[in-house]
Structure 1
Amino acid sequence: MRNYLLLAIIFTTLASIVISCQDARQVQQDMYYTNGRDLYIAYCQNCHGANGEGLAKLAPPLTDTLFLKSNKKKLACWIKNGVSEQMIVAGEKYEGKMPDHNFANIDIAQMIVYVTNTFGNKQGNYTQNEVAADLSNCN
C-alpha cells in the first residue's frame, strides 16, 4: 500500500510540473514582451504614452487593435526608418513625425511583441526573422 501511495505522490508532483511548464514559444514571447516593455518605456512612452494613449494629434495611440493588425508588416519599417506620412488611427488624423531608430532586429521584434500584446491588443509572438523579412519590404 505504501508503494502505491508513494507512486501516487510522485505522479501527482510530476503532473503538476508538466502542466505548469510553458512551451518554448510562449517562453520566448514572454521574454520578448518583458524586454520590449523596457525598450518602449525608454524610447516610445514619451510620445505614445504610458497606456498607449498617444500624444494629442502628434503621436497616434497604440490602442487601436485593427490598425495594428492591418499594419503589422509595416511596424518594423516605421520603428527602424521613422514615419513622416499622415496616418489615420481610430478615425483621427496624425501628422507628427516619428524619428528613425537604429535598433537591432531583436529590439524591434521585442517592441512589436510588447505593443501588439498590450493596451488591449493580443496578437502573439513576432520574431527577428519576421522583422528581417518586413524590413526587406520597406518602401
Structure 2
Amino acid sequence: MKLKVISGICLLLAIFLYSCQSEDELEFSRYYSAGNVIYQSKCMNCHGKNGEGLSALIPPLTDSVYLKVHKDSLSCFIKYGLKGKITLANKTFEGEMPANDFAPIEIAEVLTYVTNSFGNKMGTITSQHVGDDLQKCK
C-alpha cells in the first residue's frame, strides 16, 4: 500500500514539474529528444557518440564557433550533403558527407540536438528556420 501511495505521489510530482515548463521549453525538449534518436541512427556512425568525428577524415561537431558561423547553412549540409574542404579549429577535413532524405522537421530536430550537445548551446532550431534556410541553398 505504501508503495502505491509513494508511486502515486511521484507520478503527480512528475506531472506537476512537466506542466510547469513553458511552451518553448517543451518544444525544445521535443526537438532535442527526437534529434537524439535521429543522430544515433543516422549520424553517430561517422561523427561519433560524443560528436568527436573520426581523426582527420570526419569533422567533429564540437566546434561551436563553426556551427554558429554556418548556422544558416547547416540545413543545406544535411539535406544535400557536403563535399570538399572545410576547416574547423585550424584542422582541414576533406571528404564527402552524403545527402540525406530528411524532412525539414527531422533536420530541425537533429540540428537542435547537435547544436545543443557536445558543448554547444544554440537553442531550438525550428522546422520554419530549416525551411527558410533550405530555400537559400546554393
TM range (shorter): 0.7 to 0.9
Residue 84 of structure 2: aligned partner: 85
Q: Scaled by the length of structure 2, what TM-score is found? A: 0.86
Structure-2 residue corresponding to 1:53: 52
Change (3 A) 1:125 1:94: same
Distance in 1 (alpha carbons) for counterparts of 2:72 and 2:84: 16
Aligned residue pairs total: 123
Change (3 A) 1:55 1:18: closer
Letter in 2 for 1:127: T
- Does the 8 A contact of 1:57 with 1:96 survive in 2? no
Unaligned runs of 5+ in 1: 1-16
Question: In terms of mean alpha carbon deviation, does 44-53 or 19-28 score higher?
Answer: 19-28
Query: Given the alignment of the two structures, is residue 113 of structure 1 paired with residue 112 of structure 2, yes or no?
Result: yes
Runs of 4+ in 1 over 2 A off after TM superposition: 17-20
Once the two structures are TM-superposed, the CA of residue 58 in structure 1 deviates from its matched residue by 1.6
Indicate the SS of the match to 1:88.
strand
Q: Which amino acid aligns with 2:113?
A: Y
**Residue aligning to 1:63:** 62
Shift of 1:59: 1.1
Give the match for residue 25 of structure 2: 26
Structure 1: how far apart are the matches of 2:84 and 2:77?
10
Q: CA shift at 1:72, angstroms?
A: 0.7
Residues 85 and 23 from structure 1, CA distance in 2 versus in 1: closer, same or farther, beyond 3 angstroms? same
Provide structure 2 residue ranges, at least 5 long, that are not aligned to the other structure: 1-15
* Superposition TM-score, scaled by structure 1 size: 0.85
Residue 75 of structure 2 corresponds to which residue in structure 1? 76
Measured in 2, the distance between the counterparts of 1:101 and 1:19 equals 34
Identity of aligned residues (%): 45
Look at both structures and tell me which one has the larger radius of gyration over its CA atoms. Answer: 1
Check the 8 A contact 1:58/1:97 in 2, yes or no.
no
Report the RMSD for the aligned CA atoms in angstroms. Answer: 1.4
Name the structure 2 match of 1:3. none
- Shift of residue 85 of structure 1? 2.1
Q: Secondary structure at the match of 1:135?
A: helix
Name the amino acid aligned to 2:31: Y
Task: Return the offset for 1:20.
Answer: 6.8
